[in-house]
Amino acid sequence: MARDENSSPQGKYLYSVVPAEAVDKLNLEVTGIGEAEVHPLVCGALAAIVSDVEPTELRPERKNLAAHSAVMRTLMDQTNLLPVAFGIVAGSEREVRELLADHESEMVEQLEGVKGMVEMGVRGTLQVDDVFKYFVEKLPDLRQMRDEIYSGGEPSREEKIELGQTFAELLEEFQGECADSAVEHLQSVGRVRVNDPRSEEEALNLAVLVPRDAIESFTQAVNELAPALDEKIELTVTGPWPPYNFVDLRIQAEEEEGEEAR
């Protein structure tokens, strides 16, 4: 780990923040963005894991995303960490240290909150060809409304808008019920965050903070959740990931250079 931290005038690409006490035991033999060496910058009780980078815009190209992910996987297997979203670049080593110093107590507290934890994702997708048609067949009130406005031929624009709004409200209600059921089943094995579904087909989008040694129990809880949901919902589990959804670093360093998450 011997390194002259003042040897490079380049910007610093940030991957994560880890406890300073973990640095001496870290194996950082992994290639960073632009094939740069990955190294720690220590300040007080914290260390930022960084690599040198030219102060230009970093685009979320496959090779850059893959390098970022590789570093994160290497780190999460060795220590507790606060992951930094893809594309965050500090202008200098001094800027990194100032960031760590200014937010030390907050970051130490967050590190303690995710100690021994990993993030698991749970997504539920409706396996139907047409979501609107499925809900029309499933919900008598929506079907009656659809039939009434089409009974006289082509409906007006206003009638179509009203039907669309009603469908959107019923879909949101359905997604909320799915989330409530999921939280009820999973909160005993981890801390659950409900994210907004990304499409009409996605009924459920969760992040769950789970003890690393309890992934098997989490998987069993997901299996028990499945029968409680609509029969057309297919559940997909992803992870383990760094706890992106359960930390808030408030990093502003060159944030305009890239704001893409993992």
pLDDT tens per residue, range 91-139: 899 999 999 999 999 999 999 999 999 999 999 999 999 999 999 999 9
122 and 107 part of one domain: no
What confidence tens digit (pLDDT) does each residue in 159-215 have? Answer: 899 999 999 999 999 999 999 999 999 999 999 999 999 999 999 999 999 999 999
Mark whether 220 and 198 lie in a shared domain: yes
In the chain, how long is the greatest CA-to-CA distance?
80
Residue 19, domain member (yes or no): yes
pLDDT at 254: 39
Number of domains in the chain: 2
Q: Are 110 and 143 in the same domain?
A: no
Residue 4 has pLDDT above 60, yes or no: no
Q: What is the pLDDT of residues 232-254, one digit of tens each?
A: 999 999 999 999 999 987 665 43
Confirm if 202 and 215 have CB atoms less than 8 A apart: no
- Report which of residues 242 and 154 the model is more confident about: 242
Q: DSSP H helical segments within the chain, as ranges?
A: 62-76, 93-102, 104-113, 131-138, 140-150, 157-186, 215-225
Instruction: List C-alpha distances in Å: 25 to 1, 18, 20, 75, 104.
Output: 9, 12, 10, 11, 21
Q: Which amino acid does the sequence have at 175?
A: Q
Residue 9 confidence class, pLDDT cut points 50, 70, 90: low
Mean pLDDT computed over 27-36:
93
Q: What was the pLDDT predicted at 251?
A: 65
Residue 5 pLDDT > 60: no
Q: What CATH number corresponds to the domain at position 128?
A: 3.30.70
Q: Are residues 169 and 233 in the same domain?
A: yes
Q: CA separation (Å) from 116 to 25, 93, 175, 209?
A: 17, 29, 31, 10
4 found inside a domain: no
For the chain, what percent of residues have pLDDT higher than 70?
91
Domain assignment of residue 151, yes or no:
yes
In this prediction, residue 155 carries a pLDDT of 84
Could you tell me if 218 and 189 are in contact, meaning their C-beta atoms sit under 8 angstroms apart?
Answer: yes
In-domain check, residue 132 = yes
Report the candidate in 146, 147, 230, 246 with the shortest Cα–Cα distance to residue 181: 230
* Residue 250 confidence (pLDDT): 67
Residue 140 forms part of a structural domain: yes
Domain with 67, as residue range(s), is: 11-114+247-257
Average pLDDT, the chain: 90
User: Does residue 152 lie within any of the structural domains?
Assistant: yes
The percent of residues in the chain predicted with pLDDT above 90, rounded, is 81
Is 74 in the same domain as 17?
yes
Token pair in block for residue 217: 């129990």
Could you tell me if 123 and 222 lie in one domain?
yes
Is the pTM higher than 0.85? Answer: no
Please tell me whether residues 21 and 60 are part of one structural domain: yes
Does the pLDDT value for residue 261 go beyond 60?
Answer: no
78 pLDDT higher than 50: yes
